[in-house]
């Protein structure tokens, strides 16, 4: 059942292909921003104007808050935090949402992984025991009893 969900997710991901290369990501970001070009003699002023004026999706040019004379929100101001119960409920909702994303192993996979771990631990215990015994024999040979 979980394998079916994995396959469905993979099919959805193929539909919304993400750019693989950095150049493709930059191109996608640039096309999404659509900065309006401005001609000016001073290059730095032109760059400031380009960053301040942005073409919105409906084609109108807007100015940044700084250009309009409005101040941006400072970092020192803290937003009001909801009460403890609302935060707890939100946390639990997010936990459940994350657990739904988990691909749980099947019984066969779980059994296989458990056996692999137990065999690995047994081998490591045997290795440590062997080295410990060898060093004990070496020390007793050198220093005697």
Count of CB atoms situated within 10 Å of the CB of 86: 10
Percent of the chain with pLDDT over 70: 56
- Token reading at 52: 């301040």
| pLDDT above 60: residue 120 | yes
Of 47-56, 101-110, 116-125, the range with the lowest mean pLDDT is 47-56
Q: What's the Rg (C-alpha) of the chain?
A: 31
Res 8 pLDDT > 80: no
- Beta pairing class for 61-63 and 53-55: antiparallel
* Residue 12 pLDDT: 59
For the chain, the structural domain boundaries read 106-145
96 pLDDT band, cuts 50/70/90, is: very high
**Cβ-proximal residues to 40 (8 Å cutoff; 6+ apart), any chain:** 46, 49
Q: Are 135 and 142 in contact (CB under 8 A)?
A: no
pLDDT attached to residue 3: 63
Tens-digit pLDDT profile for residues 19-66: 678 888 778 777 777 655 555 445 555 555 555 555 555 666 555 555
Residue 51 in tokens = 């960053």
Indicate the pTM of the whole model. Answer: 0.37
Tell me the two tokens of residue 111.
């059994």
3-state SS class at 62:
strand
Average pLDDT across the chain, whole number: 76
């Amino acid at each position: 059942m979980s394998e079916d969900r994995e396959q469905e997710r993979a099919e959805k991901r193929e539909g919304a292909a993400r750019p693989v290369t950095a150049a493709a990501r930059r191109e996608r970001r640039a096309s999404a921003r659509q900065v309006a070009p401005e001609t000016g003699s001073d290059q730095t002023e032109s760059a400031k104007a380009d960053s301040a004026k942005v073409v919105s999706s409906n084609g109108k040019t807007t100015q940044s808050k700084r250009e309009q004379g409005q101040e941006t929100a400072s970092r020192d101001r803290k937003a009001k935090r909801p009460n403890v119960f609302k935060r707890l409920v939100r946390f639990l909702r997010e936990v459940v949402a994350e657990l739904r994303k988990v691909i749980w192993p099947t019984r066969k996979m779980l059994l296989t992984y458990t056996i692999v771990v137990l065999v690995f631990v047994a081998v490591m215990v045997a290795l440590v025991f062997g080295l410990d015994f060898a060093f004990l024999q070496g020390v007793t040979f050198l220093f005697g009893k």
